[in-house]
Structure 1
Amino acid sequence: MSAVHSKHTYASLAGNDLSQYLNDSDWTRSTDIRKLTTYGKTNNVYKGGLGDGSTELSGVYDNTAVTGPRAVIEPLEGQNATLVYRPEGTGTGLPERSVDVVVGEYKETHAVADYVMWTCKLTHSDDVTYSTQA
């Protein structure tokens, strides 16, 4: 098994690289599970249904007016945008995922003894494109 360090993770939203502002992210995929049990069975029967997914990005707030997370994410709230996610970083032969997302919640936290932090919740919409970077 080869371990991969998270520090190389890359994420862009609507063509804007947010990696330099991130300190945590997740990629979640799931599927609907449908029960198809009929009379006479002694155990349930299931089939997979439609796929679903979400991604959450979070990190250190930066007040850069044009490229910081607030400047990029707030105008996209309630809109669809493209998320590009590279869990092993950028480089030839490394995996890349791309999906249309609905930009949901953008949240800032302002703890008295800490830096301003932010979180953004994204809901995957339609099919995910899985590829290898060229």
Structure 2
Amino acid sequence: MAFTHGKDAVFKLDDSGGTLRTLSAYIDEVSGLPGGRDLSEVTAFGDGGTKSIPGLQDVSFSISGHFDSTATTGPNSVINSLRTAAATATFEYGPEGGTTGKVKFSGECWLEEYEVEAEVDDKVSFSAEFKVDGTVTSGTFA
């Protein structure tokens, strides 16, 4: 059994121009991927327990980390540009890292919410919520 430390995770996201940007150096948490799917209940009289049938994937995910306004490559430039985007953004997430053969979750998403927070006694941080458009693909980095 091989275990992996979270410090090796990789996260990439398209900017509004469609360029995939690596944001790993700024992110300290990714949650919600690969996600779940809807289950429709089909329980009827006489059944001994609830019954369900699988439905559509319904995936939302979030990222959070350290605010940086570096033009083109910083998380503020990449994520804030998606607030008014008219097309989905591609994402890639490698919980074990991004080297050949490591697990990769990918897909298209919409930015739902972006927040920047500053406190007098802490770093400036950000958080962002995304809604997957379609399905999450599970594969490996080539």
TM-score normalised according to structure 1 size: 0.92
Q: Does 1:64 align with 2:70?
A: yes
What whole-Å deviation, never above 9, does each CA across 1:5-56 have from its counterpart, x for those lacking one? 0011111111011111111111331111211122333432211211111221
Looking at structure 1, the residues matched to 3 and 131 of structure 2 have their Cα atoms a distance apart, in angstroms, of: 28
Q: CA deviation at 1:132?
A: 1.5
**Cross-structure match for 1:117:** 125
Runs of 4+ in 1 over 4 A off after TM superposition: none
What whole-Å deviation, never above 9, does each CA across 1:70-107 have from its counterpart, x for those lacking one? 11111102532001111110111111111100111110
Q: Does 1:94 align with 2:71?
A: no
**Count of aligned pairs:** 134
Looking at structure 2, the residues matched to 132 and 42 of structure 1 have their Cα atoms a distance apart, in angstroms, of: 41
Q: Is the 8 A contact 1:78 1:102 kept in 2?
A: no
- In structure 2, stretches of 5+ residues that fail to align are 15-19
Q: Does 1:126 align with 2:134?
A: yes
Looking at structure 2, the residues matched to 128 and 36 of structure 1 have their Cα atoms a distance apart, in angstroms, of: 26
Query: What's the RMSD between the two structures over aligned residues?
Result: 1.4
Q: What is the letter of the counterpart of residue 46 of structure 2?
A: G
- In structure 1, stretches of 5+ residues that fail to align are none
For residues 37 and 71 of structure 1, do their structure 2 counterparts lie closer, same or farther at Cα, with a shift above 3 Å needed? same
Q: Does 1:30 align with 2:4?
A: no
Q: What is the letter of the counterpart of residue 11 of structure 1?
A: F
Q: What is the letter of the counterpart of residue 135 of structure 2?
A: D
Higher strand share: 1
Aligned to 1:97, what secondary structure does the other structure show?
Answer: strand
What is the identity percentage for the equivalent residue pairs of Structure 1 and Structure 2? 32
